[in-house]
Amino acid sequence: MMKDITLGQYFPGDTVIHRLDPRTKILVMIAYIAITFCVQNFWGYIVLAAFIVISITLSEIPPVFVIKGLKPIMVFIIITGLFNLFLTGGEVVWQAGVFKITKEGIRFAAFMVLRLTFLILGTSLLTLTTSPISLTDGMYRLLKPFSRIGLPAHELSMMMSIALRFIPTLMEETDKIMKAQAARGADFENGSLVQRAKAMIPILVPLFISAFRRADELATAMECRCYNGGNGRTSLHELKLEHRDALAGVCMVLILAAVIFLNIAVK
Amino acid sequence: MIKLRNVSYVYMQGGPFEKTALDNINLEIDRGEFIGIIGHTGSGKSTLIQMLNGLLKPSSGGIEVAGVNLTDKKTNLRDVRFKVGLVMQYPEYQLFEETVFKDIAFGPKNMGLDDDEIKKRVEFAANTVGLAPELLEKSPFDLSGGQMRRAAIAGVLAMEPTVLILDEPTAGLDPAGRDEILYKIKDMHERMNMTVLLVSHSMEDVAKLADRILVMNSGHVEMFDTPERVFKNADRLSEIGLNVPQVTRITDGLRKLGMPLHEGIYTINDAVYCITNALRGEGR
C-alpha cells in the first residue's frame, strides 16, 4: 500500500531529460501547465500527447511508472469527469429522469479529464526525472531574486528539502508501527468506517510523536553544525545552463505557438 | 513448536530492486526452548522473525507454528499473533495510549477478553517486567526510556503468548536495565514454559541465556547448535561479521599460549572452573 505512491519518487537515470537544468525543467513545467489550460480543441492535446510521449521515451523511464502516478488521483479525475458530464447545460443527447447528458457536457468532461491527466503525467515526469535535491535547488535559484522583496527563498527551499527527505523515513516508520500494532492484534482492514478510523489512532499517535522527536533532533543537529540560514552559503553543485536547456525552451515556445495556432485555426 | 520448510523471502519480487532476504530456510524449534538468534545486520534475522507471526508471508515454503499452518490462506493470522508475541526493535515507539495500563491492555482487549481478565493480565505483565503498580496510571510518555521499554514488552506479554520473540530488547538501555530485562525474560521462560526467541547483537547475552543459537548469514542458516558448539567456530563467526563472547576469546587465547583448556568455553563460571583446574594441574 505504501509503495504505490509515485509522486516525488525519483527514477535515477542519465538521459537528456535527467541532465536538464532543474530550473529549465521547472520553467518548462510551468509553461506546460499553462498550455494544458490554453488548449481549446483536441488537436492541441495531440501536440501535448506527442510532447509527453517523446519526453518519456527520451527519459527512458518505463511508461508504467509514469502512468502509476495517475492512480492516486484517478477517483478525483473520474468524479470531475462525471460532474461535468451530467451538470453542463446545453443540447440534450440522452436523458433518464433527472440525469441528462448534453453535447457540451461530453465535450467539457472529456476536456477536464484530459487536462487533469496531462497535468499529472507531466508533473510526475518532472519528479521522476529530477532528484528532490536538485528540484529544491532549482526552486531556490528561481526564487532567490525575490528574496530582495522579502521572500524567504532559502528557508522555503530548506523546508522543502527537509520535508522531501523525511517522506521515506516516515513511510518506513509507519510501516514499522503498523506491524508492531498488528503484532498486538490491531485490525486495520475489517470493521465499519468508524472502527477503522479508530484503528488508526494506535498508528497516528506514535507516528506524530516520532515526527516531532525527529524534527527536534534535526534542529539540534543543524544548530550543532552552526547552521544559520542562507547568507553567504555556497553550493556543492553549481547549476549551469547548457545548450540543451536552450533547446528545451525553444521546444516549449514552439509547442505554445502550435497550440495557439490550432486554437485559432480549428474552430 | 515451530517448523520452517524451505522458506524463502524475496523483497519486491520482479521489480528492479529485487532482493532475496531469506533463502531456503529449514528450521525446527521445540516447545520451551530458548533460542538466541545472531547475525550481521541485513542477514535476515528481522525478516525471519516477522514471518513467525504472519506479519510477512514467505515467497515460498511452509511455516507451522504451534500446530497452525501460517501459509494456509484460511488461517486467521490475528489468532496466530496472540499466540506468538513479537516485541519489535525499540518497542517503546509504539506506545500510544493515555495511560500505561491502557497501553498494556491493548493486546488483551483485541483478544476480546473481559475487563477482569484484562486487569489481571495487565497487572501480571507489569509485575513480570518490573513496572511499579503506581506507574500504571501514568502517561506512557512520562516514563523514562527503560520504563517505556518495559511497558512495551509488557504489552506483548499481557497476551500471554506461547511463543515470545524479542528483537534486540535491550538495545540502547543502560547495563543495569539491560541485565534486569534479560533476567526477567529468562525467569518468564522458566516459569511459564514459554518458547523464547531472542535476537541480539551481544554474544555474551545469547551465550548466557540460550539453549541453542541460530546463526544467520546473508539469508542462510549458518549454524544452529548449542552455544558451546557454535562458539567453537570463532574464525568462521568473525568471517561473517560476528564474534565470540569475550570470555571465549580469553580462553581461546590462553589455549593458544599452551594452557590445556577445551574449546567452546562461553560462560564466566565455566571459564573460572576450567582455568583453575588447568592452573592446579600445572602446579602439581
Phi, psi of B166 (to 5 degrees): -125, 125
Residue A69 lies in a domain: yes
Q: What is the dihedral of CA A39, A43, A48, A53, to 10 degrees?
A: 160
Cα-based angle A2, B197, B36 (whole degrees, multiple of 5) = 115
Given a cut of 90, is residue B108 above it in pLDDT?
Answer: yes
The answer to whether residues A179 and A70 belong to one domain is: no
Confidence at B16, pLDDT banded by 50, 70, 90: low
Domain coverage including residue A33: 2-130+240-265
Average the pLDDT over B199-212 and give the result: 91
Q: How many domains does chain A have?
A: 2
Residue A177: list chain B partners with CB under 8 A: 93-94
Of the two residues A241 and A5, the one the predictor is more confident about is A241
Which pLDDT band holds residue B15 (cuts at 50, 70, 90)?
Answer: low
Predicted pLDDT of residue B75: 84
Per-residue CA distances from A117 to A44, A75, A82, B134, B198 (Å): 14, 12, 15, 59, 51
Q: Which residues from B are below 8 Å from A176, CB to CB? A: 88, 93
Residue A2: is its pLDDT beyond 50? no
> Is residue A135 domain-resident?
no
Q: Do A177 and B141 touch (CB under 8 A)?
A: no
User: Quick one: how far is CA A186 from the chain centroid?
Assistant: 33
Q: Are residues A260 and A180 in the same domain?
A: no
Q: Is residue A144 part of a domain?
A: no
Q: Residue A101 — very low, low, confident or very high, per pLDDT cuts 50/70/90?
A: confident
pLDDT tens, A111-161? 889 999 999 999 888 888 888 778 888 888 898 888 888 888 888 888 888
Q: Do B106 and A179 touch (CB under 8 A)?
A: no
Cα-trace Rg, chain B: 21
Q: Does some domain include residue A230? A: no
CB atoms within 10 A of CB B6: 12
State yes or no: pLDDT of A6 exceeds 60: no
A175 belongs to a structural domain: yes
Do B156 and A183 lie within an 8 Å CB cutoff?
Answer: yes
Q: Domain for residue A111, yes or no?
A: yes
Size of interface A-B (CB pairs under 8 A): 54
A-contacting residues of B 114-153, CB under 8 Å? 141
Q: Which residues in chain B touch residue A209, judged by CB atoms under 8 angstroms apart?
A: 93, 141
Give ipTM to 2 decimals.
0.87
pLDDT > 70: what percent of chain B? 98
Q: Is residue A232 part of a domain?
A: no
Report yes or no: A248 and A59 within 8 Å, Cβ to Cβ: no
Q: Tell me what pLDDT residue B4 has.
A: 92
Query: How does B152-184 read in b/e, with b if 16+ C-beta sit within 10 Å?
Result: bbbbbbbbbbbbbbbbbbbeebeeebbebbbeb
- Residue A239 CA to residue A172 CA, distance in Å, equals 32
- Closest residue, chain B, to A175 (C-alpha): B55
pLDDT of residue A12: 81
Does some domain include residue A107?
yes
Answer yes or no: do A206 and A167 share one domain: yes
pLDDT tens per residue, range B19-75: 888 999 999 999 999 999 999 988 989 999 999 988 998 999 999 998 888 888 888
Distance CA B173, CA B208 (A): 18
Q: Which residues contact B103 (CB under 8 A, 6 or more apart)?
A: B95, B96, B97, B140, B151, B152, B155
**Average predicted confidence (pLDDT) for chain A:** 86
pLDDT tens readout for residues A31-54? 999 999 888 888 889 999 999 999
pLDDT tens digits, one per residue of A176-213: 999 999 999 888 888 888 888 888 999 999 999 999 99
User: In the 8-state DSSP scheme, what is residue A144?
Assistant: G
Q: How large a percentage of chain B has pLDDT more than 90?
A: 57
> HSE (CB half, 13 Å, CA atoms) of B231?
29
pLDDT band at B284 (very low <50, low <70, confident <90, very high): low
Fold designation for B2-244: Rossmann fold (3.40.50)
**All structural domains of chain B with their residue ranges:** 2-244, 245-284
**Across the interface, do B159 and A185 touch by the CB < 8 Å criterion?**
yes
